[in-house]
Amino acid sequence: MKIFAIGMNYAAHNQELHGTLKRPDDPVIFTKADSALLNQGKPFFVPDHLGRIDYETELVVRICRLGKNIPQRFAHRYYDALTVGIDFTARDLQRKASAAGQPWTICKGFDGSAAIGEWVPKEKVLTNPDAICTESGLQRLQFHLDMTQHPTPNTQHPSPNTQHPSPNTPLGRRTLATEGAQEHPSPVTVQEGRTSDMLYNVDEIISYISQFFTLKTGDLLYTGTPAGVGPVHIGDHLEGYLQERKVLDFYCR
């Protein structure tokens, strides 16, 4: 099994992280080790030795047949299920790697960094009138991430009512002393995406990747994250939704 992922595939995310709305000349491809896979329901153990860890919520598709040099017009035949996943990113390490012109292998591919939700057959998703599948890829498909913060006395969280700042700026945080702890905190939608905002759609990505890698049944494709990325902390509860169906549910430990 191979885990492919796409960087810089939403203009607004490129703006918040890289200061540009430009569409890359080609899809930005990176891979994760198979040990990065974190199956639905299992806790994510925050690797505090890696510095700040950000969630990046993404639509994920599952490859269902062998393929090489796949024409874009046939790419929709090569995946059979979708879900929501999280591309956990060691942001401090990524900034250092990018500044030095080094690859993202460690900051993107560490153990548990590819959380994956429950698979939904493509046909079930596409029965929704707000989702269509054409030769140009999935369109108007929505997904989002809800977070419930369960702070401990030694844990501080950014306010859920403010937009997450760029990793290149100081992170505003609230403290329990100033805000007070909620006995029963409520989930807050922290990130939302729509596939029509992708700079490269699913079919284009599959066709492009297949020029360099043979796709095999069971390979996974993380298709990029929209704007709204932010940090996770021990105790956070993350819930991912594909349309209105909850497909991802786990805690950070």
Q: Is 218 exposed, middle or buried (0-12, 13-18, 19+ CB in 10 A)?
A: exposed
Q: How confident is the model at residue 6 (pLDDT cuts 50, 70, 90)?
A: very high
Given this model, what pLDDT does residue 137 score?
52
The more confident residue out of 172 and 228 is: 228
CB environment 53-86: b (16+ within 10 A), e (fewer): bbbbbbbbbbbbeebeebebeebbebbebbbbbb
Average pLDDT value for residue range 12-39: 86
pLDDT at 128 over 70: no
Given this model, what pLDDT does residue 191 score?
97
Mean pLDDT of the chain: 86
Give tens-digit pLDDT for 144-202: 999 999 765 554 555 444 444 444 333 333 333 334 445 678 999 999 999 999 999 99
Give tens-digit pLDDT for 89-113: 999 999 999 999 999 999 999 999 9
